[in-house]
Amino acid sequence: MREKLDYLFANSAALAVPVTDLATFFAGLHVKGYRLGVASSDNERSIRETAKRFGFDGYLDYVAGYDSGFGTKPEPGMVLGFCAATGLEPHQIAVVGDNNHDLHMGRNAGAGLTVAVLTGTGSPESLSAASDHCIADITGLEAILGERTSR
């Protein structure tokens, strides 16, 4: 069953629709010096295939799926794995997610910032308690990160 589900997740990358030009978005964050990662409840293969399809795979410092050995959400393992891979401390990073498992993972790891995006199944009402900010989609992220670095 797991093999079939992993196959379905990996092949669903072909059906994903981005909210913005992800290659340009990730390139812009990368140029500004941000370390970038994707932690998903999908398998690692599907994350990598999606990143490659949308052209941001070259900007990722870290990729973790449920099968990458860092545990599952909302446990802190994926965030702590990102920290180990980048040399950052949890309080120095932001966790961005579209559901409470993502946000709770960030909180459980001691992330300095949790940002909810409304491009998943969550609503402002369901995500606000576990997030520092709630934005329509990732295109609003740079403004939040800019506010924090200008302090």
Q: φ, ψ for residue 67 (rounded to 5)?
A: -100, 15
**pLDDT tens digits, one per residue of 92-120:** 999 999 999 999 999 999 999 999 999 98
Distance CA 142, CA 11 (A): 30
Alpha-carbon 92 to chain mean position? 15
| pLDDT of the residue at 17 | 74
Does 7 have pLDDT greater than 90?
no
Where do the domains of the chain lie?
2-149
pLDDT in tens, 24-68: 999 999 999 999 999 999 889 889 989 999 999 999 999 999 999
Burial class (CB in 10 A: 0-12, 13-18, 19+), 128: middle
**Distance in Å from the first CA to the final CA of the chain:** 49
The topology (CATH level 3) of 2-149 is: Rossmann fold (3.40.50)
